[in-house]
Amino acid sequence: MEGQRRKGSRANCSFFKQSFPRILLPAGMRMADRPPICGERPTADPAPFRSPAGHAAAETIMTHRTATSTITFAHPFRLSGFAEPLPAGTYKIETHEEMIDGLSFPAYRRVETLLFLPPPPGQANLIQVAAIDPADLEEAQRRDGETSGGPA
């Protein structure tokens, strides 16, 4: 057993260090940031791991976000792009936004608004989604409120 290298032994470590004298690191990682190899002791104050982009791992910036809401129509309503009026009911709305770069504060711009349509009769597993103009949706909501006799 003397000539054989045991897993985790000091002999294995020296063999590793002799066989691989240069350690290749991912782009942006410094030697001090790497994990210890073969029983090395970490430095007293290791630097935080930084991604190749230079951001600390905990400093991830969200550049997109999605807001989900529901809207209820008491009467059938029309939206541009649809040949037929849509039936009354509750609809799920998803708004996708992206961060505006170059500002000193976080601000988002609306990229897309999606309307989830109810499935056709007999096809409960069918999901239909349509990209809509939010101004059209607000106008349809206003008309539905007027038709109901509610506030404008």
Domain ranges of the chain: 1-59, 64-148
Q: What is the DSSP string of 11-23?
A: HHHHHHHHH--S-
Burial of 53 (0-12, 13-18, 19+ CB in 10 A): exposed
For the cut 60, the answer to whether the pLDDT of residue 47 exceeds it is: no
Q: Pick the residue with more confidence: 4 or 138? A: 138
Mean pLDDT of the chain: 74
> How many CA atoms lie within 13 Å of 93's alpha carbon, on the beta-carbon side?
16
Quick one: how many helices (H) and strands (E) in the chain? 2, 4
Structure tokens at 13: 């470590």
- 98-135: pLDDT as tens digits: 999 888 888 899 999 999 998 888 888 888 999 999 99
